[in-house]
Amino acid sequence: MFVHIDGPWSPLLGRLALSEIPYNNPILIGTFAFAALLAVVLVGLVTYLGLWRTIWRDWLTSVDHKKIGIMYILIGLVMLFRGFMDAVMMRAQQAMAVGPHSAGYLDSPHGYLTPYHFDQIYTAHGTIMILFAATPLLVGIMNILVPLQIGARDMAYPYLNAVSLWLTAAGAALVMASLFIGDFAHAGWFGIVPVMELPYSPGVGVDYWMWAFQLSAVGTTLGGINLLATIVKMRAPGMTWGRLPIFTWASLSANLISLSTFPVVTVALALLALDRYFGTHFYTAGLGGNLMLYNDLFWIWGHPEVYFVILPAFGMISEIVPTFSEKPLFGYLGMVLASLGIAGVSWGVWLHHFFTMAASPAVNAFFSITTMAVGIPTGVKVFNWAFTMFRGRLRFELPMMWASAALFFLLVGGLTGMMNAFATNDYMVHNSVFVVAHFHMMLLLIVYAIFGGVNYWFPKVFGFRLEQRFGKMFFWLFTAGTAVVFIPMFTLGFMGMTRRLAYVAFPQWGPLLDIEVVGIAIYVLSAVFLVAQLYVSFRDRAKNRAGLDAWETSRSLEWMTHSPVPFYNFAVTPEVHARDERAWRVARGVDTVRPERYEDIHMPRNTAIPLWLGVLSFGLAFGLVWRMWWLVEVCAVAIIALVVIRSFDHDTDYTIAAKEIERMERAIRDVPSGRPAADDVIGGVPAFRQGV
């Protein structure tokens, strides 16, 4: 039944053998030693501090949307670091391997990475940065913020939320495992057909890539369902569509995309699995296979995915800019339409990822126009942010610095994007580093929005603000690194340099590649300041305590509850009166009132089942990669059993009595706001529940 593969296979270990452990590669051994050391230190520290119980009870088994969001962000940050190290290695290799006379080390003809190893690194870099860094970071932020912004207690399906998290974690773990056991795909993050078919990728690399991708895709699809249901069904009273905070609108648009397109990539990869495991011919070159089918299916997901990650970033910018301009967002309706417009257009542009496939001019013309049409809503957003700042009172605190810098990335990315959307320009630069530099501009826009968002909402989640001085140094160094890496990269694009070169044949590209290495060094330096910022913030957390509204001029609902947010979010579900509810209440002096009476709160119970589902999914995928059929069978049966068992569990929720809520609320001492306001007034002025 299964396709025959050359090489050893045993019933117990499948294709896994000692020779698959890269113990003779000093780079990987060094990485492994570093990772092992880090793990030992972490485990030791947790044991020493006696935190295992807390971690198990409050985090690993939690279904609290805020904690799940934080864990998503932690996964994203770890994988961001891994992806960044891949980038460092790529830059070093390309700078070393210039011209036929460049030296070679470690079995490589030039540089220190063999082409096959280099190819795995750029594949890992792309896969990790898109699926395991950007996506978890943004899903994490949406997880934390959306329920708070709409006045909900949790997500619509808290248990499903945890399942999504642990599936994503399992995918990330699988990518990490491929570092030390076997190898990773070399066929690019989007899977170049037919390179990833068995004749050209006989190893386990593509299988690792494919199953890690599947786990993350399933996790994100479930997350999309969850966020959509939450936004549609869980809004607080008075939160009409016209009053929905703009970040929530962006999340809604993004998750419309994820729900409608992630299933496509799941199917596309399932067909690839049939090719690689059963010897079918969906994407092979011959025997009736159609490799363009894969390109179509993948990019029908792939391009909307780009907007899935950029829309929440736009949403964050749209929240940060009004707060620090001290005025409402300009053109709210236009912004909403633009977000939905970007989501809508995203389904009709996928073919521009293979403009060079020599389609008929009518086909390329259609997709060239649709791709350019993306520029309309995006342009609207830039103008609207500019007019939000217009007539404002701008404070360039850290979140605003990141957000306003992101605007300039959108200008450069927009210019270069319009160049690529013009199909005949694309013929010139399609696989050149010009395109690489272009999409890094857009992805850096996301990174800038994420750093802005993290600085902005950190006090809401943790109760203290991040330190500013090191934070600003980090910002400037990071920006300098970006300039020094990507300006030469754009230039190299005009010089004709193409992507994915393990060896650089033309020596005239060398000097600019050297400059890029300098840029990478600046990035590394900037990371030191990020660590310093986090350390100092944590050390001085008592000094930097934040009140309800950490920035004094925030506008939306999440700033109306305590910082850090209690696990039940709002003591009493707030009644919404205006688009910018917080600003509306501040303007009327009713912002800090306590409710007249408390009510019972209905909450979901913690459960360890999602964690076990994640562990078993990892086992399932690992078994599939190495073709250990017994492991696949055990894990598949266990997963089904667990899901069935859970469905018979009726004790999944509990109620907190109103008295208990009142006791907890009174124990919280909010830091008073700097603004003169009626703090701690109980009753009297209109309370949360009553209309005004």
Using CB under 8 A, which residues numbered 310 to 349 contact another protein? 325-332, 334
Q: Please give the residues from 138 up to 197 whose contact with another protein meets the rule CB under 8 A.
A: 183, 186-188, 192-195
Residues 434/413, Cβ–Cβ less than 8 Å: no
List the one residue from 62, 201, 226, 544 that touches another protein (CB under 8 A).
Answer: 201
CB of 21 to another protein, least distance (A): 13
| Beta strands 601-604 and 653-656, pairing class | antiparallel
Q: Cβ of residue 155: shortest distance to another protein, in angstroms?
A: 31
From the list 21, 85, 225, 487, which residue makes contact with another protein (rule: CB under 8 A)? 487
Note whether 558 binds another protein by CB under 8 A: no
Closer residue to another protein, CB minimum distance, 499 or 541: 499
Which is closer to another protein, CB of 193 or CB of 217?
Answer: 193
In this chain, which stretch among 41-49, 137-145, 417-425, 604-612 interacts with another protein, using CB under 8 A?
A: 417-425
Q: Which of residues 589-628 bind another protein (CB under 8 A)?
A: none
510 or 566, CB closer to another protein? Answer: 510
Site for another protein (CB under 8 A): how many residues?
113
The residue from 411, 608, 643, 678 that contacts another protein (CB under 8 A) is 411
Alpha-carbon torsion, ordered 242, 243, 246, 249, to 10 deg? -60
Burial status of residue 25 (CB atoms within 10 A of its CB: 0-12, 13-18, 19 or more): middle
Cβ contact 131:76 at 8 Å: no
**512 part of the interface to another protein, by CB under 8 A:** yes
Of 173, 147, 133, nearest to 65 by C-alpha is 147
Query: CA–CA separation, 484 vs 55, rounded Å?
Result: 41
Q: Which is nearer to another protein, 20 or 599 (CB)?
A: 20
Per CB under 8 A, contacts with another protein among 239-298 are: 284-287, 291-292
Please tell me the distance from the alpha carbon of residue 111 to that of residue 505, in angstroms, as a whole number: 12
Among 90, 156, 167, 429, the residue binding another protein under the rule CB under 8 A is: 429
* Residue 383 binds another protein, judged by CB under 8 A: yes
Q: Site for another protein (CB under 8 A): which residue of 498, 527, 564, 646?
A: 498
Q: How far is CA 227 from CA 86, 158, 590, in A?
A: 32, 10, 30
Which residues between 100 and 119 bind another protein (CB under 8 A)?
Answer: 104, 107-109, 114-116, 119
**Selected range binding another protein among 30-38, 505-513, 561-569, 611-619, rule: CB under 8 A:** 505-513
SS3 504: strand
Among 255, 432, 533, 561, binds another protein (CB under 8 A): 432
Question: Which DSSP letter does residue 545 get?
Answer: B
Which one of the spans 30-38, 198-206, 232-240, 641-649 is the region binding another protein (CB under 8 A)? 198-206
Rounded Cα gap, residues 534 and 538, in angstroms: 6
Q: Quick one: which segment of 44-52, 420-428, 635-643, 661-669 binds another protein (CB under 8 A)?
A: 420-428
**Closer of 34 and 427 to another protein (Cβ):** 427
| Least separation in angstroms between CB 205 and another protein | 9
Interaction with another protein in 384-403: which residues (CB under 8 A)?
Answer: 384, 386-396
Q: How far is CA 30 from the centre of its chain?
A: 28
For residue 412, state whether it binds another protein (rule: CB under 8 A): yes
Q: Restricting to residues 116-145, which ones interact with another protein according to CB under 8 A?
A: 116, 119
At a CB cut-off of 8 Å and minimum separation 6, what does 496 contact? 432, 506
- Range list of H helices, 463-509: 469-494
Q: Which of 375, 564, 566, 686 binds another protein (CB under 8 A)?
A: 375
Q: Rule CB under 8 A: is residue 566 a binding residue for another protein?
A: no
Residue of 11, 50, 242, 361 that binds another protein (CB under 8 A): 361
Tally of CB atoms within 10 A around 679 = 15
Query: To the nearest whole angstrom, how small is the minimum distance from the Cβ of residue 9 to another protein?
Result: 14
Tokens of 678: 């009626």
For the chain, the farthest-separated pair of C-alpha atoms sits apart, in whole angstroms, at: 83
User: How far apart (Å, rounded) are the C-alpha atoms in residues 612 and 614?
Assistant: 5
Calculate the CA 640 to chain-centre distance.
28
Question: Around 471, how many Cα atoms within 13 Å sit in the side-chain half-sphere?
Answer: 22
Please choose, out of 146-154, 171-179, 201-209, 597-605, the segment that lies near another protein by the rule CB under 8 A. 201-209
- Structure-block tokens of residue 228: 């959509």
Instruction: Candidates 32-40, 152-160, 246-254, 491-499: pick the segment binding another protein (CB under 8 A).
Output: 491-499
- Closer Cβ to another protein, 284 or 617, answer by number: 284
Pick the closer one to another protein by CB: 391 or 650: 391
The smaller minimum CB distance to another protein, of residues 177 and 373, is found at 373
Choose which of 143, 346, 364, 544 interacts with another protein (CB under 8 A): 364
CB 170 within 8 A of CB 618: yes
* Interface positions, 20-59, toward another protein (CB under 8 A): none
Long-range contacts of 226-229 (CB under 8 A, 24+ apart): 226/155, 226/156, 226/157, 226/160, 226/161, 226/164, 227/142, 227/143, 227/146, 227/155, 227/251, 227/252, 227/255, 228/252, 228/255, 228/256, 228/259, 229/155, 229/156, 229/157
Q: Which is nearer to another protein, 435 or 450 (CB)?
A: 435
Both tokens assigned to 135? 């996506």
Site string for another protein, 637-676 (x = CB under 8 A): ----------------------------------------
